[in-house]
Amino acid sequence: MQEWRVQILNNLLWAIVVLGGIALITGSLSDYNTMGERAFPYIGVYTLSYLAIGAAAILHRLNVTIRALILLIVLGGTATFLTITFGLTGSGRLLWIGVITLALIYFDIPGGLIGFVSSLLVMIGAAVIYVTGNVPFVAPEVLMVQDTIEDWAGSISLYVAILTLTLVPTYYLIRQLEVLANQATAEAARARLHARQAEEHTQVLEQQTAQLQQTEQMLRNLVQSLETPTVEIGDHVLLAPIVGQLDQQRADTLLKRLLAVVSDRRVRQVVIDVAGVPTFDTMAAQGLLQTVQALRLIGCEAVITGISPAMAQTITTLGIDMKTITTARSPQDVLLRQL
């Protein structure tokens, strides 16, 4: 709501600066052509008012209350000047309505009441001036046509009625705008809070996701280790028992793990026991051949043990060449050979 008031004030000040500059030039020329030297006081008042409004428009560092007060003082002074100088034929009453409306916007009910009382005092004072007729600064032709109490009483009553019809809806509208502005501010605050909570929740989820990914990787590594365990059964001799189906993915995992273990421990011989493999096909045989050849390339001998009769029959039926692969009945036989 405060931003709305500031925006209205800025726009109003600059509008007055632009339109007031045009009015200052044209009005001064018109008054001078009509009144001659008598127009100089009026031109001076117009110029001072314009300069004050221009200063309030340019000096944005001033507090909005001070800028609004400057605007109201200038407009109120101008309205007073017009009311006293031109009476009922001038635009003083209309300008007073604008002054009181602005006072209500920027200073709430106390400001509106001060503006209303000030306007009534000015009008009553103007009525006294015009009824008595003893004022040298008012033009005689203006003074002559507004010299009855009835004219002024009726004009002031009409002014109060118009002002009431203007200010009551304006005040109600201001209150409704404040309610809506407060609701919008509260909704914006709740939205920012929800956004911050959602961001924090997202960060927590990201951290949990990262932890889950780390845990998953650890479990994968553990499963791979359990799928292809290696046990040292002699001096630089490892046993790698294989349990379960040997597919292409598991054969690749077996190859990578054995190469890493053999290289790290400087193993000279690896015994690959396939007694726990239920079925043996071409893919499993090729995987074992690749593993044996890769181990041989890094200086490690590979021996395959645990080939069952059914597995041997399958190998023979498939025509798999096992001549380059060293085999033994069991890991114990391999150890006995070494002895």
Q: Is residue 21 part of a domain?
A: no
Q: Do 299 and 254 have their domain in common?
A: yes
Amino acid 13 reads L
Q: Do 232 and 188 share a domain, yes or no?
A: no
Q: Is residue 284 part of a domain?
A: yes
pLDDT value of position 117: 92
Pairing relation of β-strands 301-305 and 326-328?
Answer: parallel
Q: Residue 69's domain spans which residues?
A: 63-192
User: Residue 7: inside a domain, yes or no?
Assistant: no
Contact in structure between 268 and 236 (CB atoms under 8 Å)? yes
Structural domain ending residue among the three candidates 145, 171, 192? 192
- Domain CATH code at residue 282: 3.30.750.24
Clarify whether residues 91 and 144 are in a common domain.
Answer: yes
| pLDDT number for residue 93 | 83
Cα–Cα distance, 106 to 128 (Å, whole number): 32
Residue identified by tokens 């039926």 is 317
* 51 found inside a domain: no
Q: For residues 137 and 6, what is the distance between their CA atoms, to the nearest angstrom?
A: 38
- Cα 228 to Cα 29: distance, rounded to the nearest angstrom: 105
Let me know whether 170 and 232 are in one domain. Answer: no
What stretches of the chain adopt beta strand conformation (E)?
A: 231-234, 237-243, 269-276, 301-305, 326-328
Domain end point (choices 166, 192, 218): 192
Q: Would 159 be classed as within a structural domain?
A: yes
* Same domain flag for 297 and 232: yes
Domain count, the chain: 2
Pure H helices in 133-247: 140-144, 149-227
Per-residue pLDDT at 144: 58
Task: Quote the tokens at residue 69.
Answer: 């007060």
DSSP state of 138: S
CA distance 339 to 331: 13
> Are both 176 and 243 inside the same structural domain?
no
Token pair for residue 334? 């391999």
Question: Same structural domain for residues 73 and 186?
Answer: yes
The answer to whether position 215 is within a domain reads no
Within a domain: residue 233?
yes
Going residue by residue through the chain, which has 339 residues, state the pLDDT in tens, using 9 for 90 and above. 556 566 666 666 666 667 667 766 777 777 677 767 767 777 787 787 777 777 776 776 667 788 788 888 888 888 888 888 777 777 788 888 888 888 887 788 888 889 899 999 998 888 887 777 666 656 565 555 556 788 788 888 888 888 888 878 877 777 777 777 678 778 888 888 888 888 888 888 888 888 888 877 676 655 555 556 778 887 788 888 888 887 777 888 888 888 888 888 888 899 989 888 887 777 778 888 888 889 889 889 999 998 888 888 888 887 777 777 888 888 888 888 776
Q: Quick one: which of 247, 272, 277, 251 has its CA closest to 262?
A: 272
User: Is 90 strand, coil or helix?
Assistant: coil
pTM for this prediction: 0.47
Position 303 in a domain: yes
